[in-house]
């Protein structure tokens, strides 16, 4: 399927995706540990993989194109010796998917190895500078300038490794999370700006990690330190001085008050277990995660409620799935709490800057807490003195450290690139705060818990029933989803799920909007999912009939069957919790469509779990 793309843009940066990195220093064979760790980060990037270890002052690098298990069959990573090293799973940005472009990247003299997540926005300028100094480049990546800059400062300016890394990173414009391994030193350096990086600490075994995300090393340790922007850590892994953390602009003073946090996620939560895919596992986990989302401290609920009620102007800000949860919540706030909420895509938030005051409240909603556009929106809000609240799933994420108050979603790790359980957790939490803002907290809890009683059956019925439907429809080129009121944002989210994982073009509309142009695309057999709630039944059925009259194949999701439906999926009525139940069958249909089309639902093409650069 071909396509024509017209792009008119003022380009600020060229990259929108992320990679996974992990470094290790300890007593075990580094390659064995790193292989297990990088597999746990494959959801962050999966078109190439590489590893470097150091043994007797020699660096050993192996890398290639493909998923980790495929590459390991030819590269045999575990043959690499040494107890210090780093690994990288790449999502291609600068430079195509080739072995040369895969990480790690080496300096010209082969003594410095770097793995990197982020973007060096001024890499062309730095590359030209280094070429004039006699350096050569083997790859098309922006990352390769980093090890060569480090070599430049070591050889040409006679700096030690620590100072050379600091000076190199100071010249970078853009974002980075890096792990640096040197042939000359028995320690590793980790640093970040704008991209996530967390240290893992296992004092008992005297081993230390630096990784993009906690699941990388969860089976080895649970104590972590979250690095902040422009911080650099040196990991020595010795009993007297295991690590030191500095600010990038001051390597003379060690930061002594970095808090060590304990991660309470279980190892099983980060594994597929009996399930064939993480997507399926995480869909089924919603029978638990919706409940755990609303198990919040009463003082925290009261604090957030007071902030919403006392604010002069409230903004809900998110990207993708989280944005759809915000749209849904804005309707409930309007109906239940009689309060207007502004809903803004994070990437467009700067257009509302003139309305931000000290009395404004910005609620930032995110699964990962690392999405660059959302972080930029929060920074904009804070620059104007706004109060900020994060609704987020990852403890210690950048978003939690930026915002004044954080509400954890308690969903456990979400590994699949697509958000499923985090979406329904966001819906539940935002519904809870709407009812709390109306002085009806217990009513809100009751509505959510009543909906939870049906989650298990809706999922089980859909898993069995929707596979044949997916087989029937998987060759379609288009899907349309329509809904009104609370079913409208569900249509938006459902369309996103279908196109994310099955690569079928899908669009969601408010029911009445379909006839304002898009109905011209309806042809015989084109699937249209009509999401029906009790309050909008007559109107949305009328819209569905308009589609059917033009040959569309109508799939109804609702409380009762109707003759307009060619196929019907029954979902119990749940009042303001309707969006929680209505999205479940569409998540499952999207899953089955991906399988029917021969795609891996955990690793959709051109996507990664969180967008860590603009």
Buried b (16+ CB within 10 A) or exposed e, 203-241: eeeebbbbbbbbbbbbebbbebbbbbbbbbbbbbbeeee
Please answer whether residues 540 and 508 qualify as being in contact, where contact means their C-beta atoms are separated by less than 8 angstroms. no
Three-state DSSP string of 330-396: HHHHHHHHCCCCEEEEHHHHHHHHHHCCCCCEEEEEECCCCCHHHHHHHHHHHHCCCEEEEEECCCC
How many other CB atoms sit within 10 Å of the CB of residue 510?
18
Check residue 250 and report its DSSP letter.
B
SS3 state of residue 56:
coil
Contacts 24+ apart (CB under 8 A), 131-138: 135/108, 136/108, 138/100
Report the relative pairing of strands 553-558 and 567-570 from DSSP bridges: parallel
- What is the layout of strands, in order, in the sheet containing 478-483? 505-510, 478-483, 527-531, 553-558, 567-570
Which helix (H) or strand (E) segment holds residue 588: the answer is helix 578-596
Please answer whether residues 51 and 86 qualify as being in contact, where contact means their C-beta atoms are separated by less than 8 angstroms. yes
Helix H segments across 211-285? 278-284
Please answer whether residues 378 and 403 qualify as being in contact, where contact means their C-beta atoms are separated by less than 8 angstroms. yes
State the Cα–Cα distance between residues 149 and 154, nearest whole angstrom. Answer: 9
**Quick one: tokens of 614?**
């603009």
Which helix (H) or strand (E) segment holds residue 455: the answer is helix 441-473
Query: What is the greatest pairwise CA distance in the chain?
Result: 80
State the Cα–Cα distance between residues 48 and 63, nearest whole angstrom. Answer: 7
Instruction: Report CA 14 to chain centroid distance, whole Å.
Output: 19
State the Cα–Cα distance between residues 484 and 261, nearest whole angstrom. Answer: 44
| Residues with a known catalytic role | 19, 609
Task: Give the CA angle between residues 54, 59, 65 to the nearest 5°.
Answer: 110
Check residue 609 and report its DSSP letter.
S
**Quick one: tokens of 104?**
């790690």
């Amino acid at each position: 399927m071909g396509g024509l793309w017209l792009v008119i843009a003022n380009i600020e940066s060229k990259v929108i995706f992320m990679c996974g990195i992990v470094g290790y220093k300890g007593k075990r064979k580094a390659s064995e540990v790193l292989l297990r760790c990088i597999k746990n980060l494959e959801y962050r990037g999966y078109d190439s993989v590489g590893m470097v270890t150091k043994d007797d002052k020699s660096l050993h690098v192996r890398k290639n194109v493909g998923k980790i298990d495929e590459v390991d069959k030819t590269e045999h990573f575990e043959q690499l010796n040494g107890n210090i090293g780093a690994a990288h799973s790449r999502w291609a940005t600068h430079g195509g998917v080739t072995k040369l472009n895969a990480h790690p990247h080496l300096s010209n003299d082969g003594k410095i190895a770097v793995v990197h997540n982020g973007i060096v926005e001024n890499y062309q300028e730095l590359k030209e500078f280094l070429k004039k100094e006699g350096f050569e480049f083997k790859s098309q990546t922006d990352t390769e300038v980093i090890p060569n800059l480090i070599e430049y400062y070591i050889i040409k300016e006679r700096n030690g490794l620590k100072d050379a890394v600091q000076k190199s990173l100071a010249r970078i414009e853009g974002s980075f999370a890096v792990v640096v391994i040197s042939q000359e030193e028995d320690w590793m350096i980790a640093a970040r700006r704008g991209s996530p990086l967390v240290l893992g600490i296992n004092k008992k075994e005297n081993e230390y990690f630096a990784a993009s995300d906690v699941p990388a090393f969860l089976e080895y340790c649970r104590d972590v330190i979250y690095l902040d922007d422009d911080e650099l850590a040196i990991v020595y892994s010795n009993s007297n001085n295991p690590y030191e953390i500095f600010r990038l602009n001051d390597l003379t003073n060690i930061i002594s008050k970095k808090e060590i946090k304990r991660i309470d996620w279980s190892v099983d939560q980060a594994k597929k277990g009996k399930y064939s895919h993480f997507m399926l596992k995480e869909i089924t986990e919603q029978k638990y995660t919706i409940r755990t989302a609303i198990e919040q401290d009463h003082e925290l609920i009261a604090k957030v409620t007071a902030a919403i009620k006392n604010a002069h102007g409230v903004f809900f800000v998110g990207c993708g799935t989280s944005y759809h949860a915000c749209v849904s919540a804005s309707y409930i706030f309007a109906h239940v709490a009689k309060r207007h909420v502004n809903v803004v895509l994070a990437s467009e938030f700067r257009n509302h800057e003139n309305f931000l005051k000290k009395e404004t409240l910005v609620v930032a909603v995110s699964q990962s807490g690392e999405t660059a556009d959302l972080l930029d929106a929060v920074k904009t809000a804070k620059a104007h003195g706004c109060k900020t609240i994060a609704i987020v799933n990852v403890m210690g994420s950048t978003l939690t450290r930026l915002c004044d108050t954080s509400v954890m979603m308690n969903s456990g790790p979400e590994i699949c690139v697509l958000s499923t359980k985090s979406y329904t957790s966001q819906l539940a939490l935002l519904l809870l705060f709407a009812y709390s803002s109306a002085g009806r907290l217990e009513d809100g809890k009751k509505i959510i818990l009543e909906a939870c009683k049906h989650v298990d059956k809706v999922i089980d019925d859909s898993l069995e029933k929707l596979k044949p439907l997916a087989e029937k429809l998987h060759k379609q080129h288009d899907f349309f989803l329509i809904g009104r009121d609370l079913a409208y944002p569900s249509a938006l989210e459902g369309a996103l799920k279908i196109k994310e994982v099955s690569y079928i073009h899908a669009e969601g509309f408010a029911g009445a909007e379909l006839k304002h142009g898009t109905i011209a695309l309806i042809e015989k057999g084109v699937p249209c999912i009509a999401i029906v709630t009790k309050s909008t039944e007559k109107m949305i059925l009328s819209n569905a009939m308009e589609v059917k009259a033009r040959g569309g194949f109508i799939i109804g999701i609702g409380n009762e069957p109707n003759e307009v439906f060619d196929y019907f999926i029954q979902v119990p009525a749940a009042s303001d919790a309707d969006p929680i139940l209505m999205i479940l069958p569409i998540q499952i249909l999207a899953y089955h469509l991906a399988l029917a089309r021969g795609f891996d639902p955990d690793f959709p093409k051109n996507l990664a779990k969180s967008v860590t650069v603009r």
